[in-house]
Chains A and B, each alone.
Chain A
């Protein structure tokens, strides 16, 4: 029997788990303090589990946990701290690798540049280990058995901008960690659930039909935008997620690094050098100074002291300071510049040979990314008769999420910039929905959603955040140097709801029997009106985004090897929240003959 509703925030830099007992009406989600190694041989329960994985060297001995004395790796705080000492053995930002478009995310590639004795693991396995650790800590706390995490209703959050294959890989990691009753939820939606739960019933006064809530989620490593529309359906208020933004690898860590760079320059100008190890404490000190300066408007500066490496603290400790002006110009103006509504993020042309790495956003200006999001999603609410088409989606309310947005000056700048855009369009300013705990809201909201799924409570609808397309090469005579034209067939329309299915009416695809056949795969977060089966010959450059290719292997059973079998595609959105593509032969040899299409195969890049 299921005893708990559980929400897990599987974050880029931190994980958190919230739990609520079932059958206790109104019991709010509580954060589980996660037992973890905090130093060699020291275990402590903390609300956040840092998303770091450290391969202990043979000389370090086992990384014993209360439930596993022989473990050879560490996850959590000790992993994070040890990684500063021995960075080549550390995996960080595994989640960003999970959504990397051109690497094999099931292959042992992490950490990049690890020493030879390290048996590298895949981005999927790293995520699996974090979930496994949460599961073990949960079972230690609640005793396992009937109360084991494997038996509970678990909601794991993903960025709204995660594509179909990254979602599927997240599910794969969760299943590997033994989580069986699993549902995915988009993080901005989780933040809204947390806010709704946190206000009690008061939220109905704050959100009214017609409202468009913009969720701005700036975490440690990623920035995520979503728009949620409140509509009146037969007298009751419904929330519909109408738009999600692109995956932007830009977050609080970038801000701390920018400040650390500035401080490093100041120290260098004073003739002092900072080694790699000290660099980590510079970042740490900058984060603390940033938080002080941004939360206390009266402070003019905050000192930065960086301890010497050796045991002699006096004489070797470096001192400088971070001033309010520096923080303002680096963070507020650097990451949240006041820009016009038609500003667009700059993209840096990549060299032909780029080093394998994460596709970090090349423009650090979150306001420019937001302008682009609102412009792309201008018609997210659909055209309303008699209304002049606007160039911008007009939010009426804004909900912040993520640790970065705890800083009032950053929130104020973003709201002021947005309000200026709205005013220019003749729209009213946004209301700020306040009161959420920005660090733990996603875990709490995920837990609240697990409760909502079991019955009462408002549910945000929305379905898939993208329409999906398969690339079909035109049958034209081969001409050297000319690529055959590719058309895109919609296989899953925008906003497909969980538990629904779409069959493609006509177009036939041919699949060679007995060998893997690859198709190009595309997603679109703006083409809302394409139905399953719609064939696109042309599209604008930014409408369709190419995703990792998909692959299908038809077994040769009963057919001649090398034969081309005509098939048609069928798409489902599973109850878990992943997209499932299947091919169905037009002339089946047995009842219900169909094969699953693999969504996440290695990219060509």
Chain B
């Protein structure tokens, strides 16, 4: 955060004299000085505008899960009309492949090590990114409650490095068999 510039006493004296007149005769200036009186000295930082995310790693991950586990094929197909047995067989292909891909590229661990259903206590200052309060949310910590979901946290995620000029949006190239 940038610090305010130091202003010398003489400058301040001159500025106080100038301001007293402008506050008296310039209503808009007075209003602005009024608002600064208690608000932070710095102009408020511009509201965070969402940056366009670099989607390349996400595309790579989709491509990886398609390559190893046919995930995109599975999600793009309408499964409503198929019996559960067919869905189950396809799910095995997807599960086997995606699980293997996930395990080689990421270390995923539960956020909480307790068994789901166990009673847990959250002390003051718990990390709200790690634990979400649900149900009758009120009052002050410590909170006592039941662990409903252990949560997941990726300790590591490594995607292949990209080399050469290849369009990341191609999740799987079309295949044409010759001969």
Which A residues form the contact surface with B (CB < 8 A)?
37-44, 61-62, 64-66, 69, 85, 285, 288, 303, 305-307, 311-315, 317-319
Contact B162 A39 (CB under 8 A): no
B166 interface residue per 8 A CB criterion:
yes
Which B residues form the contact surface with A (CB < 8 A)?
60, 63, 67, 70, 73-74, 76-77, 79, 82, 86-87, 89-90, 92-94, 96, 158, 160-166, 173, 175
Smallest CB-CB separation from A70: which chain B residue?
A: B164
Partner of B160, one of A39, A311, A313, A315: A39
Contact B163 A303 (CB under 8 A): no
**Closest approach, in angstroms, between the C-beta of A251 and any C-beta of chain B?**
23
Most interface-central of B79, B86, B90 (chain A CB within 10 A): B90
Contact A85 B175 (CB under 8 A): yes
Smallest CB-CB separation from A319: which chain B residue?
A: B89
Contact A42 B73 (CB under 8 A): no
| Neighbouring B residues of A306 by C-beta, 8 Å | 93
Task: Decide: A313 near B92, CB < 8 A? Known: A41-B164, A61-B164.
Answer: no
Q: What would 18 A/B residue contacts be, using CB atoms closer than 8 Å?
A: A40-B166, A40-B173, A41-B166, A42-B63, A42-B161, A43-B160, A44-B160, A64-B164, A65-B163, A69-B164, A288-B96, A305-B90, A307-B93, A312-B73, A312-B77, A313-B90, A315-B86, A319-B92
Contact B162 A314 (CB under 8 A): no
Partner of B86, one of A44, A61, A303, A314: A314
Task: Decide: A313 near B77, CB < 8 A? Known: A39-B67, A307-B93.
Answer: yes
Partner of B162, one of A43, A312, A313: A43
Task: Decide: A64 near B163, CB < 8 A? Known: A311-B73, A311-B76, A313-B74.
Answer: yes
Tell me, in angstroms, the Cα distance from A65 to B164 when the chains sit together: 8
| Neighbouring A residues of B63 by C-beta, 8 Å | 39, 42
Tell me, in angstroms, the Cα distance from A330 to B140 when the chains sit together: 65
| Neighbouring B residues of A314 by C-beta, 8 Å | 74, 77, 79, 82, 86-87, 89-90
**Closest approach, in angstroms, between the C-beta of B126 and any C-beta of chain A?**
37
Contact B163 A317 (CB under 8 A): no
Tell me, in angstroms, the Cα distance from A64 to B164 when the chains sit together: 6
The 6 closest A-B pairs by CB, nearest first: A41-B166, A64-B164, A42-B160, A305-B92, A44-B160, A319-B89
Partner of B161, one of A44, A303, A307: A44
Tell me, in angstroms, the Cα distance from A40 to B170 when the chains sit together: 11
| Neighbouring A residues of B163 by C-beta, 8 Å | 37, 41-43, 64-66, 69
| Neighbouring B residues of A288 by C-beta, 8 Å | 96
Tell me, in angstroms, the Cα distance from A41 to B175 when the chains sit together: 17
Contact B89 A317 (CB under 8 A): yes
Tell me, in angstroms, the Cα distance from A318 to B164 when the chains sit together: 36
Tell me, in angstroms, the Cα distance from A38 to B100 when the chains sit together: 14
